[in-house]
Amino acid sequence: MSGLVPAADLCHPASGFHVFAIRPRSVAGEAEDAPSANTKQYSTRKSHRKSRFGCNPCKRKRVKCDEKRPLCGRCQRTKNPCGYSDNCSTGQAGFESIDAVEGPAINSNRGTNASSPLIVPRALEKSNRDVNLLKHYDRITGLGQDTVTCSDILVGSQAGKYRISILRLAQEHSYLLHAILAVAALHFNHYEVEGYRLAKYSHLQVALSDLQLAISKPVSKAQADAVLLTSMMVNMQYFSWVESVLPSDSWVFSEEPSRLSWLSMQMGLLPLVNSTRQHHAESLLLPIWMCSAYEGDETLGLPYELVTLCGLSRVSTEIERQENPYYHALQLLGPLMVEEKGSRSMVKYVRFVSSLTKPFFLLLEQNDPPALLILGYWFGLMCYVDFWWVIKRAKRDCTAICMFLDVNGDDAVRSLLDFPAAACGYQLVGGHSMTTDRDDCNVEMALVKGNKQTLVSG
């Protein structure tokens, strides 16, 4: 048997590290070598009682906690926030409550709908930033009006349980967890809190990668809700990405091939919804499917002149309707125009944009006036939704569409701009003052694909 001892001549004086050498155990009859004066003597570590119910900060740092309440001795000395898990004896070995963890926040109080401690996967414990993000998501979805999942609209008094169910789903599905963290980082960025821009991109990238892997094979019942929620949150990110609020910087005046990528992402939700339809009856998201927009008479709620502009009439045959690229969009838009405008119709507005067809999308890529007009009406409805992630794009793009059509549209098109123009605050040319961006925008309009010869004097 051999023992491991520090070899004095192999000690590295600069680093303080020891290199161990093997010393043969002495055989019977031989005297033990006396300890060298240069050999450091090691004593057995003193045993101590393990801290099973220590505070969260001490657990994360893996140091002994004296378990004093409300502040342990270590946190009191270091002047750090101290908090204990309410569920420390419930046997939830994989998760920990983080109610006491402090971090930057726009709103410091948790929502009144919270019904249980916030639980976070232990995988996040080593990252204070991610813990703060998860806690911040819990705040922004529990402040009376949930602008992420619309839980207060969909389930009313059950909103607290609905939110907790979503957070528990995130414990089981990494793509949903990272989508939630990306939404929280997006909210910080919206209010210009520094230090979370990179976090938004990194969590979104992981969410997209993991989601792509999940949907590469048939989505199971256990995955369905998490997959759809993740897709909705990713769509939210793409919709809210507006670097400039100037209408002249809108995709309407851009020639970039990817200028409608935000819209193609929204349209990607419907195939996922259809592929999980067999699970909807038992879905956590059942209120969403029950609240979704319905297709109806395309003349309902819309000016009849808009219908005729799109090549349809009351006497159009069913074949003519189905072959018309505007028909499906008009069917979805018409009923929305007679609904209550604003946040309570948000789920139906989302259904509209996710249900647009490829032929209609191709018309938008060409800045086709009737297609832009239909989308302008939808943006006009979105201008009534006072959600932090909606209003910038809704107002900017609605104004840009009005600008473009006011200059490039014919009399029939311009006569139909009243609703979107009123919704976004754009003042039409006919006898009214124009927006301050108008003169600058005229030059850019001349560069829009298909309208390079158009120049309008101020």
Query: What are 297-335's pLDDT values in tens digits?
Result: 656 789 999 999 999 988 889 999 999 999 999 999 999
Give the max Cα distance, the chain. Answer: 116
User: Residues of the chain whose pLDDT is less than 50?
Assistant: 1-22, 32, 86-115, 431-458
Report yes or no: 416 and 422 within 8 Å, Cβ to Cβ. Answer: no
Q: What pLDDT is stored for residue 46 in this prediction?
A: 54
Q: What pLDDT is stored for residue 44 in this prediction?
A: 57
**Domain boundaries defined on the chain:** 93-241, 265-277+289-445
- How many residues in the chain? 458
Report yes or no: 185 and 199 within 8 Å, Cβ to Cβ. Answer: yes
Report yes or no: 327 and 367 within 8 Å, Cβ to Cβ. Answer: no
Rounded Cα distance, 65 and 4, in Å: 33
What is the 3-state secondary structure of the chain? CEEEEECHHHCCCCCCCCCEEEEECCCCCCCCCCCCCCCCCCCCCCCCCCCCCCCHHHHHHCCCCCCCCCCCHHHHHHCCCCCCCCCCCCCCCCEEECCCCCCCCCCCCCCCCCCCCCEEEHHHCCCHHHHHHHHHHHHHCCCCCCCCCCHHHHHHHHHHHHHHHHHHHHHHCHHHHHHHHHHHHHHHHHCCCCCCHHHHHHHHHHHHHHHHHHCCCCCCHHHHHHHHHHHHHHHHHHHHCCCCCCHHHCHHHCCCCCCCHHHHHHHCHHHHHHHCHHHHHHCCCHHHHHHCCCCCCCCCCCCHHHHHHCCCCCCCCHHHHHHCCCHHHHHHHHHHCCCCCCHHHHHHHHHHHHCCCHHHHHHHHCCCHHHHHHHHHHHHHHCCCCCCCCHHHHHHHHHHHHHHHHHHCCHHHHCCCHHHHHHHCCCCCCCCCCCCCHHHHHHHHCCCCCCCCCCCCC
Return the residue matching tokens 């995988």.
123
Rounded Cα distance, 173 and 167, in Å: 10
- Cβ neighbours for 239, distance < 8 A, ≥ 6 positions apart: 262, 265, 266, 389, 390, 393
Q: What are phi and psi of 348, to 5 degrees?
A: -70, -35
Rounded Cα distance, 5 and 41, in Å: 10
Q: Within 13 Å and on the Cβ side, how many CA atoms surround 375?
A: 33
Q: Is the bond into 6 cis (omega within 30 degrees of 0)?
A: no
Return the residue matching tokens 């169910």.
165
Q: What are phi and psi of 4, to 5 degrees?
A: -95, 120
Q: What pLDDT is stored for residue 333 in this prediction?
A: 94
CA angle 205/210/216 to nearest 5° reads 125
Q: What pLDDT is stored for residue 68 in this prediction?
A: 74
Annotate 152-161 with b (16+ C-beta within 10 A) or e (fewer).
bbbbeeebbe
Rounded Cα distance, 453 and 324, in Å: 29
- Cβ neighbours for 450, distance < 8 A, ≥ 6 positions apart: 366, 367
Question: Nearest Cα to 377, choosing from 418, 428, 410?
Answer: 418
Return the residue matching tokens 């808009």.
306
Question: Nearest Cα to 58, choosing from 90, 36, 80, 40?
Answer: 80
Query: What are 27-41's pLDDT values in tens digits?
Result: 555 554 555 556 556
Rounded Cα distance, 231 and 242, in Å: 19
Q: What pLDDT is stored for residue 115 in this prediction?
A: 44
Q: What pLDDT is stored for residue 350 in this prediction?
A: 94
